[in-house]
Structures are given as C-alpha cells and as structure tokens.
Amino acid sequence: MEDQGTFGMGFYFRTLTRMLGEPRRFFGNLPEDASAAAPLGFLVLSSFFCAVAGVVASMSPRPFLAGTVFFVNGVGMALLLAALGYMVMTMSPGRKTGFGRLLSVYAFASGTVLLASWVPFFVWLTEPWKWWLIGTGMVQCCGLKRGQALWIVGASLVLTVLLFYSVAPVLVCLLRPWVRSF
C-alpha cells in the first residue's frame, strides 16, 4: 500500500474504501516496515467522527463530556484490545509479529467499524465485524495461521470480559458521586 507512513484525508478515505471493499487485500498489502502513525491517525479520526455522531444522536445535555467519553472509548478500547491480543500472542506457540504491526491491524479494524458503532443497537453488527476484520488482518498482515488468529481473538475476548467484570465494581464505587451529578 502506497504512502502508508503519511496521514491525511486522502489516505483516510482511500483506507476506508479499501477496508470496506477488500479488507483481505488491504491487510495483505500493508508494508512490513510501516510505522503505526498512519493507522493511529486513522483510528483517531474515526473516533472523532464516532464521537461527533454519538453526541448528535444522543442529544446529551453535556455534549463535550459525552463526546469525550465516545472518543476515549473508541481510541482506548482499540489500544487495550491490541495490548491484550499481543499478550495472548506472545504467550502462545506459533508465529509471532511485532506490536506495531498488530496495533495497525487493531487500529484499522476498529477505526473502520467505529463509523457505524455509534448507532444504537449496531453493536450486534459492528463487534462481530470488527473481530472478523482483526482476525483477517492477523492472517493476511501478520502471517498467522487461522487457528492461531482465532485463538488470539477468542482469548482476547475472554480476557476483556474478565477485565471489565473485575474492574467494574471498583469503578462503580469510585464514580458513583460523579455519576449522580451527571
């Protein structure tokens, strides 16, 4: 894929078009030595679009706060999932890849589905699609076998659920006074 290292609106829309049309080819054409700057730029811009759309759709009385939550969720979840996926991959037998390359897969996959994820109840479509894109990227871009990619995706999902399940009670206690004022 040309001009992988530079980010701009042209890059964003070309990437989005390729991810929507031919994700296997897109991931297969990612250069080995590409930096994570362009994928992170793609993720940040998609998160911004998702935040704006989410604020408009929710008609929140505190739009800046709601937009910040949408934005941080979009970027933060992709980074967290990439870190968990990398952890699972490094502890698993089989082929390994660098964190930057794996982060690119998560950033492009998450950034693509964020454009539709703000729609209420679309989570039932966008989450499976995102995980399929991540698995496809692991196979096409990172050279992992399908079974290994499936293992990493499945274990990452379980770890994410367990992480939030264990952290949720602490967050509820810490955020209870703040949420009441919201």
Domain membership flag for residue 49? yes
What's the rounded Cα separation, in Å, for the pair 152 and 158?
10
Domain containing residue 123: 9-180
Domain membership flag for residue 102? yes
pLDDT tens, N- to C-terminus, the chain (182 residues)? 444 556 788 899 999 999 999 999 999 998 887 788 899 999 999 999 999 999 998 888 888 988 998 999 999 999 999 999 999 999 988 788 889 999 999 999 999 999 988 888 888 999 999 999 999 999 999 989 999 999 999 999 999 999 999 988 888 888 777 665 55
Domain membership flag for residue 1? no
CB 96 within 8 A of CB 86: no
The count of structural domains within the chain is 1
Domain membership flag for residue 117? yes
DSSP state of 35: -
Q: What pLDDT, in 10s, does the model give residues 65-102?
A: 889 989 999 999 999 999 999 999 999 887 888 899 99
Residue 97 region by backbone torsions, left for phi larger than 0, else alpha for psi between -120 and 50, else beta:
beta
Domain membership flag for residue 62? yes
